[in-house]
Structure 1
């Protein structure tokens, strides 16, 4: 028997939910990502549960145990239970009655095995009881051990139930599979045959899934395979995966944070904002990176204008676009520029200038100061003026 363990399972908050839902003999398992991650040795964040109790019974059992029950997705059979302040999504066993590629009409099922067969990938359909004993109905254990991603049963059927699973396939591949093992050819063939379904998905869902893919430590293989089967072009016309691995190498070399917008810009898509739903902050970063990746401002000047992290991302993007090494002292120069403070204030020039002329004088002196590599003092600049 295979078991999982960890504080996420043994914690009193988790066990209290088990206590509540099994009080009248119902079946309850933890399921999905928490079991997968525990088996892979990856940190567990969210703990989801599945049960043969219907949603109304779940609510009643939670209340009887003095736990708060929130009907966050009751139409889909999901109730969120708060235990010691921790949320647990509890979903009644389900089976799909009808699907349209975006959403499903569901009916409640009686067994975990039936519930497993409506999920997406074998590694996401592993169940464990309160003691950690794993139940596998679809061959997920062998796939987890091989770090291999496969659709459950027929890939085409799973994709047509929800076309977002095409993107999820590449996201989970980037995060959890062995790149040396390659990707499941049956899955890729089904994906290539169902590209038209991507157009039915909302921009919000596509953006959420695609950006999560780009947050993987190294999504290069997944994105290159997306391009190979036509997914990347269907999502982002004009995009290419060619520069992404070069960008990631540069980012790793200089020690910057993972920046999904920099990675998105490296793909070179035509008007990505027309295809994705970005936040204001993301759109601002995209505009900056796109404008500056072909620029020539020195690292110190970038640091002065944009700060350390954005400037380093810009330098990585330039390195990837031109396939040239990063400047030798890139980080030191960027940090030096970020620390530089223009020594002239408007009050220093008010005796001689006002209005627009004052602003132009300040900008002129700032240009001189930058051209001096930030070395000119206040006195130097005032004498020059």
Structure 2
């Protein structure tokens, strides 16, 4: 067994109770199960050497500057995690994270000596320093580390210079690889083979990995949607482990859960993965009702998933009313835009009766909206996707929003005294204008003002006589 792992094993056989600011939190030292102890790894970790256009494209002047800096001070640095995975898939990574043998103090000394500004120092206790290179690009550089104590959310770390130990603490094999600046891919735990097979597997014992950070339950599904070529090729043992640990999600913040869940619902097999998540029991711990509306979700998937559903459509399908939207929002803390979309979907997803002008009810939703018109347009488009109304969706996208020709100034110019009547009069004129397919001009519409006022007055007298 590898010597570095043996050291950790000596301190991994007991639990400790640790006081925290928020109360007493049960923490435990990093545990090694029999499966972890017997975990195979490569003696020679270099599995291939990249020379692709995608790899060459990452060498911006700022990356070159960072590389030269670490070479000058003789610290080893490699690209880590997701960028390596993406490059092996032939994709240009959206961002780069780096790992290094330099400690945070050594990095701070180096960057200070070179007059390089460092930002966001919150990550220092976990080994992350963020230099801003050429005052243009920020890079997160993290010292190689081992998670010594975990509570299912956070970890206390110990720094190391051993790349294998750092790879061993990571969640999935496909995320545990490193990339040298010469293109060498370092893979200790066979993530390279798993990536080729489109297999999503934890490093070592999945039960231990999940207990170290319960958010890994959500991350498993996100990366399954990113990597796998089939919606239902999960390994039974992995799902069993997720199910056995799912209650740990109750201690994970809603914001962190939503980051992972939203990406899952934006990826492949979103509907299938959501149902698998529900099968393993995720729902009640992320704000979904105990009895989510699976039948409605299946209906929405069948008729609308090919139209490119927004993440909120998948979730709204599981909710019966706006109260359940409120509960979900209070747990996940998604944006106000997403919250209002969920409310809108639940309120307007029902059948609309308008045989002669089937688009009319949706036009009204935009023209009578109390929210930003741009948002209303996007919400209506999502309702049509949710309902599987592909033809209506295309018509709606091509619909030119007409300009309502009457304003408060128009009423004033036509003798209506300012007051509470303005709103009802404008709403009534707008209804007339909409029903007549937006053909009337301002002059046409103001002719209705006297009769509208008379109707209001008669209704007012009638209400008083009751």
Deviates more, 1:225-234 or 1:341-350: 341-350
Pick the aligned partner of 1:131 from 153, 176, 182: 182
Shift of 1:181: 6.5
Written as runs of structure 1 = structure 2, the 5 A alignment for 1:228-377 is 228-235=279-286, 236-237=288-289, 238-240=291-293, 243=296, 247=300, 259-268=310-319, 270=324, 271-294=327-350, 296=352, 298-304=361-367, 305=369, 306=373, 307-317=376-386, 319=387, 325-326=388-389, 328-333=391-396, 335-336=398-399, 339-350=401-412, 351-354=414-417, 355-377=419-441
Shift of the 352–217 alpha-carbon distance from structure 1 to 2, 3 Å rule, reads farther
CA distance in structure 2 between the aligned counterparts of 1:173 and 1:81, rounded to whole angstroms: 32
| 1:10 partner SS | coil
The verdict on how the C-alpha distance between 1:14 and 1:229 changes in structure 2, with shifts beyond 3 A counting, is same
TM-aligned CA deviation for residue 333 of structure 1: 3.9
- State whether residues 77 and 91 of structure 1, in contact with CA within 8 Å, keep that contact through their aligned partners in structure 2: yes
Residue among 172, 177, 187 paired with 2:223: 172
| Segments ≥4 residues shifted beyond 4 Å | 240-254
What is the aligned partner in structure 2 of residue 322 from structure 1? none
User: Gaps spanning 5+ residues in structure 2: where?
Assistant: 1-46, 353-359, 450-466
Structure 2 residue matching 1:341: 3-state secondary structure: coil
Contact conserved, 1:126 with 1:134, CA < 8 A, in 2? yes
Distance 1:292 1:50, change over 3 A: same
Equivalent of residue 205 in structure 1, options 236, 245, 256: 256
Paired residues of 2:384 and 2:392 also in contact (CA < 8 A): no
How high is the TM-score relative to the length of structure 2?
Answer: 0.74
**What are the residue-to-residue correspondences of 1:73-92 with 2, within 5 Å?**
73-84=123-134, 85-92=136-143
Question: Contact 1:9–1:130 (CA<8 Å) still a contact in 2?
Answer: no
Contact 2:231 2:273 in 1 (8 A): no
CA distance in 2, matches of 1:106, 1:120: 15
Q: Deviations over 1:145-187 (max 9, x none)?
A: 1121111100010000010110111111112222257123222
**Corresponding position: 1:16 with 2:76:** no
What's the counterpart of residue 96 of structure 1?
147
What is the root-mean-square deviation of aligned Cα atoms in Å?
A: 2.5
State yes or no: 1:189 paired with 2:245.
no
Q: 1:243 to 1:2 in 2, by over 3 A?
A: farther
User: Which of the two has higher C-alpha Rg?
Assistant: 2
- Give structure 1 stretches of 5+ with no counterpart: 320-324
| Counterpart among 412, 424, 444 of residue 380 in structure 1 | 444
Contact preservation (8 Å) 1:179, 1:221: no
Aligned residue-pair number: 376
